[in-house]
Amino acid sequence: MLKELNQQIQEETYSSYIYLAMAAWLEENGYKGMATWMRVQAREEKIHADIFYNFIMERGEHVKLEAIDAPPDSWESPLELFKAALAHEEHITGRINHMVGVALDVKDHATYQMLQWFVEEQVEEEANVGEAVQQLTIVGKDGRGVLMIDREMSARVYAVPTSAPWYPKSGQPAA
């Protein structure tokens, strides 16, 4: 279970990294609103990594950080970028579901309970990115439609999730 939890720190950190790369590409290509949306997503993923870190530490276990691969740095269009983001979220959902199974197999009820927050979170993550894919698919190559979606996405703001388990820890700064 510890190996899986440590791997998830890497997975969540990579998630933050790929979303930051996506934000950079979007901003470089004039989609500042979508870039804002992705920067917020990157911060959220960093918090997810912190939750796993804090959980491992609270249980008196050893955190082992692994190298993070370089993410892609270009996409054909905002639609293709959000499709890649959706595929990534589906991968993370698979990881969370796998860890739930491991927790059940080894009868680690504390980890199982903590992971339930992530099960719910992944439903929300896939729905949010899926909505962007759907909207971008509807407008197709209509530049006005894409810019309208870009403008709407600029309204997303970062908020520390108050319901997140093991974050922030007492005495620790909130990311």
3-state secondary structure the chain: CHHHHHHHHHHHHHHHHHHHHHHHHHHHCCCHHHHHHHHHHHHHHHHHHHHHHHHHHHCCCCCCCCCCCCCCCCCCCHHHHHHHHHHHHHHHHHHHHHHHHHHHHCCCHHHHHHHHHHHHHHHHHHHHHHHHHHHHHHHCCCHHHHHHHHHHHCCCCCCCCCCCCCCCCCCCCCC
CA distances from 119 to 59, 77, 114, 133, 143 (A): 21, 30, 9, 21, 36
Which CATH number fits the domain 2-153, given the four candidates 2.60.40.10, 1.20.1260.10, 3.20.20.80, 3.90.700.10?
1.20.1260.10
pLDDT at residue 158, rounded to an integer: 78
CA distances from 137 to 10, 56, 96, 131, 133 (A): 31, 41, 28, 10, 6
pLDDT at residue 157, rounded to an integer: 87
pLDDT at residue 159, rounded to an integer: 76
pLDDT by residue for the chain (175 residues), tens only, comes to 999 999 999 999 999 999 999 999 999 999 999 999 999 999 999 999 999 999 999 999 999 999 999 999 999 999 999 999 999 999 999 999 999 999 999 999 999 999 999 999 999 999 999 999 999 999 999 999 999 999 999 999 877 766 677 666 544 544 4
Half-sphere exposure of 115 (CA within 13 A, CB side): 22
CA distances from 131 to 85, 123, 136, 138, 156 (A): 12, 12, 9, 11, 14
pLDDT at residue 171, rounded to an integer: 47
pLDDT at residue 79, rounded to an integer: 98
CA 43 to CA 58: how far, in whole Å? 22
